[in-house]
Structure 1
Amino acid sequence: MPYIIFGILSLFSVSLIFNNNLWFDEAYTLSLIQHNFSKIIEILKTDMHPPFYFLSLKVFCMIFGYSIPVTKVFSVIGYVATLSLGLTIVKKHFDNTTSIIYMLTVGAVPMSLYFSVQQRSYQWCIFFVTLSFIEALLFIEKHKTHHCVIFVTASLFSAYNHLYAMLAVGIIFAFINIYAIFKDRKLLKAIIISDISMVVGYIPWIIPLLNQTKSAAGNFWLKGVEPLSLIVFASGIIVSALILAKKENRKLPIIFGIICVLSIQVIGLFITIFIRPFYIARYCNVILGIFALTVAFGTRNIKVKAKQIICICLSILSIGCVVVTGIFEYNPSMKNFFNRFDKVTSSSDTFIYSDSAFGIMSYYYPKNTHICTYYESWFSAFDNVRYINKKKINSKINSSNTVWFVKNTLTKTPKYLKKNYKLKSVDTFKCGNRQIILKNPCEFVLAGISTYVSNFNFALLWCIPRQ
């Protein structure tokens, strides 16, 4: 049965890769990996991302080609690897039922399949953080050196993938250090060596990390507490309470798992509420595998019939997730839009942006001129986007070219554009999890762009020079 579940859930993810839809963050990924390795690292030093995922994806694309489906496959491999932990380590050291519930929970979490095809680091973070947790737990219980080595290695890969993955393994390290000091001093020597190895291994990225943190403290895009992050946190507390309500579940593996699941959210929300908005719900997905294991451990002491009901419910949720994610991934409106828009645009057209709306259009229309009127250092990932001061925009654009202005609909249309152009509309389409509106040959509005974490509404306006 575990092998059948593994195969079906893996196929669910594979079935979602055959499309060319993407959103801004994915466009950033695809643009970034076009650079050489040293340039990728240089750009990432000015952004909030460690380099491992992007460098690995570049190597993968150098072998298999640069395309949207190929980059989705790379994330799918991470998802399959996460499932395979249940089929291998979990099954070996625990039991079949724990393995099955772990895999079904991974498949049933609403955004699990979504991240399995995202061209972002989240899915590989989930794999490495889960592996780190499992090996740390096995090391505590069995005192075997190879578990410690794998734990440290997986932790380093996690830290080099995402800042919140680094926080997750930091919590794991803190737990096992405290456990060793108060419960099992025989582990202290190995754990101290592990601590030193982790610090030494991360030294190459310490300075960029400090610079990134300093920059984010005053310039991070998030403006407040995301309601969904509070909902996810409340859900985690409820699930944890239900598990701990059974006395038999108050043991090391479950307590360890619950601490990891809740701590990363507590820390993220605390920083966001009291210091600086810096946390949204999708960041806690790095501990999705730990959550799945905690649920699996929490069902070990219930009756067989209850386990069967849980497995059926999780299976239904998994099927629901693949259906909903499939509808989202295979939304045809983007393809339909390009079929229409290609008829009214040419490679000589110019696109202007005053916010982060530039990523999607600059990816799909790489030969066109793309101009941003504001600047961030990480924009250098987009080779075909250049910065021009808004005061000089009119003098820098060839008046004989068709000009399009693309913006988030929440962004006010700049006065410098209103002064120099009349703006008209074109058509509509959905871009991945975002909806775009265009009405006639003039205004192209990307509206209703929404992921489970954020809503983006974009507009593309045909700029007609004023006489």
Structure 2
Amino acid sequence: MKCFKNRYNNLSYIIFTILSLFSISLIFNNNVWFDEAYTLSLIQHNYSEVIEILKSDMHPPLYFISLKFFCEIFGYSILVTKIFSVLGYIATLLLGCTVVKKHFGSDTSMVYMLTIGAIPMSLYFSVQQRSYQWSIFFVTLCFTEALLFLENHGTRHCVIFVITALFAAYNHIYALLAVGVIFIFVNIYAFVKDGKLIKAIIISDIAMTVGYSPWIIPLLYQTEAAAGSFWLKGVEPLSVVVFASGLVISTLILAKKENRRLSVIFAITCVLSVQAIGLLVTIFIRPFYIARYSVVISGIFALLVAFGTQHIKEKVKNIICVLLCALNVACLIGTGIFEYNPSMNNFFNRFDEIASSTDTFLYCDSSFGILSYYYPENTHICTYSEPWFVAFDNIECINKNELSNKIPPNDTVWFVKNELTKTPEYIQSNFDLELVDSFKCDFNTFNVYLAKK
């Protein structure tokens, strides 16, 4: 019996290892899209410049500073930056084998990890050279420690809760929103349900406010700037679908009487509130939210599913685990096909035969971030500008009216744009465009034209 129990307990470590290897298997490619190219360009600057550039963008600095430090130790390369994100994914899974398993049991631990891997796009974000994966880790740990603090009153849990909240807030603006919701819930619970926690909660509130105060002014500036120029134009349908799915799952979990307890209600509040706030702001104030941003609470969602299975029959739980395993494999296959898409490599093999280092690349949209990374020695001209474009050292931003004087008549010019971008009139009036090639990058297709004067 003891041997069987040990094997059962070891199953959580086996799941952790397999899911970690799933993510590691996806890092061996050189496909980079615009946001990742921005990351790779930004970390080439010194630390003070990184912070100054980020003040004009919608990103807190912790991820980029941490990534830069990591790259200074292990080298600046796509592989190294992907590994940094994978470590965040592994850390998120590791919570299942440690904190979750210790306090909530092996079953909850396994369902948590399997749900992490089964969430669509989870593996995709695990290898993205962006702040999402580490935000997921810090938000998940923040939530877990806040819950343990409410249940056990342990000072250690309270300290970790505040520290991880600060780390999350300095990683991503929607991670800040997530920990804001966590703090609000903890405060309400303390004042309404458990007065013994009030003193510790007030101290935590003060510590969080003081700790984040250096970034409050940049945050206000970023929000004001984004209110007038943020790229999103309306409500993303997928964000509504994701919210509706979370609402349905939460309702199904609450339908079972045993699930109407602190851990489940806390998790549901966090999962739905972050999405609801994002959607309400987008609908009534300014489009600021897409489904991708809700990924920061995916670890809390995984805990919600795990908590929701604690009081169901063993046979049903086993069926759920089998389904989650199948979803994990499907996600691996789908993400692998996506990450190892040969389109860009095939394009570069063809394009390198007709292009040279003296050619000029011309852009009217964000495609400049991609090819300026792969062809750093060429001249890259963009016909619009944002303050954070200074992250790209080899991009020259000009006024579109100066275009005719900027490029000599005998230069070979390649005009590159997203296929969804309408070719501007000022490009058509200055050049005859001949479609030469195209390539797929992330979720977009880009067209490459030979631009003749």
Residue 460, structure 1, aligned to residue 451, structure 2:
no
Letter in 1 for 2:87: I
Distance in 2, Cα, partners of 1:29 & 1:23:
10
Distance in 1, Cα, partners of 2:311 & 2:423:
60
Matched residue of 1:425: which SS?
strand
Residues 328, 433 of structure 1: 8 Å contact kept: no
Residue 358, structure 1, aligned to residue 368, structure 2:
yes
User: 1:415 deviation in Å?
Assistant: 2.3
- 1:284 aligned to 289, 294, 316, which one? 294
Match of 2:432 in 1: 422
- 1:397 aligned to 396, 407, 426, which one? 407
For structure 1, which segment, 20-29 or 406-415, has the greater mean C-alpha deviation from structure 2 after superposition?
Answer: 406-415
- 1:172 aligned to 162, 182, 200, which one? 182
User: 1:389 deviation in Å?
Assistant: 1.3
Q: What are the Cα deviations for residues 38-92 of structure 1, in whole angstroms up to 9, with x where unaligned?
A: 0000000000000000000001111111111111100000000000000000000
Distance in 2, Cα, partners of 1:409 & 1:4:
44
- 1:239 aligned to 236, 244, 249, which one? 249
The number of residues matched between the two structures is: 443
Residues 437, 449 of structure 2: 8 Å contact kept: no
Match of 2:91 in 1: 81
For structure 1, which segment, 421-430 or 174-183, has the greater mean C-alpha deviation from structure 2 after superposition?
Answer: 421-430
Distance in 1, Cα, partners of 2:305 & 2:424:
51
**Runs ≥4 in structure 1, deviation > 6 angstroms?**
none
Residue 411, structure 1, aligned to residue 399, structure 2:
no
Q: What are the Cα deviations for residues 271-317 of structure 1, in whole angstroms up to 9, with x where unaligned?
A: 00011000000101100000000100000000111110010000000
Q: What are the Cα deviations for residues 114-137 of structure 1, in whole angstroms up to 9, with x where unaligned?
A: 000000000000000000000000
Residues 86, 99 of structure 1: 8 Å contact kept: yes
Residue 298, structure 1, aligned to residue 308, structure 2:
yes
- 1:35 aligned to 38, 45, 49, which one? 45
TM-score, length-scaled by structure 2: 0.97
Q: What are the Cα deviations for residues 118-168 of structure 1, in whole angstroms up to 9, with x where unaligned?
A: 000000000000000000000011111110000000000000000100000
Residue 44, structure 1, aligned to residue 51, structure 2:
no
Residue 186, structure 1, aligned to residue 196, structure 2:
yes
Residues 135, 175 of structure 2: 8 Å contact kept: yes
Q: What are the Cα deviations for residues 370-390 of structure 1, in whole angstroms up to 9, with x where unaligned?
A: 011111000001000011111
User: 1:432 deviation in Å?
Assistant: 3.2
Residues 17, 73 of structure 1: 8 Å contact kept: yes
Distance in 1, Cα, partners of 2:351 & 2:102:
55
Matched residue of 2:440: which SS?
strand
Match of 1:97 in 2: 107
Distance in 2, Cα, partners of 1:8 & 1:278:
36
- 1:6 aligned to 2, 6, 16, which one? 16
Residues 46, 377 of structure 1: 8 Å contact kept: yes
Distance in 2, Cα, partners of 1:121 & 1:418:
38
Letter in 2 for 1:331: N
Distance in 2, Cα, partners of 1:185 & 1:264:
26
Q: What are the Cα deviations for residues 21-44 of structure 1, in whole angstroms up to 9, with x where unaligned?
A: 011111111111111100000000
Q: What are the Cα deviations for residues 342-368 of structure 1, in whole angstroms up to 9, with x where unaligned?
A: 001011110111122211011111111
Q: Which structure shows the higher helix fraction?
A: 2
User: 1:234 deviation in Å?
Assistant: 0.5
TM-score, length-scaled by structure 1: 0.94
Gaps of 5+ in 1: 436-445, 447-458
Matched residue of 1:427: which SS?
strand
Matched residue of 1:400: which SS?
coil
Letter in 2 for 1:399: P
Residues 438, 448 of structure 2: 8 Å contact kept: no
For structure 1, which segment, 217-226 or 404-413, has the greater mean C-alpha deviation from structure 2 after superposition?
Answer: 404-413
User: 1:397 deviation in Å?
Assistant: 1.3
Match of 1:325 in 2: 335
Match of 1:434 in 2: 444
Structure 1 residues 50-199: aligned runs within 5 Å = 50-199=60-209
Residue 263, structure 1, aligned to residue 298, structure 2:
no
Residue 346, structure 1, aligned to residue 334, structure 2:
no
Q: 1:125 to 1:186 in 2, by over 3 A?
A: same
Match of 2:382 in 1: 372
Distance in 2, Cα, partners of 1:35 & 1:62:
12
Distance in 1, Cα, partners of 2:256 & 2:109:
21
Distance in 1, Cα, partners of 2:315 & 2:350:
55
Residues 60, 172 of structure 2: 8 Å contact kept: yes
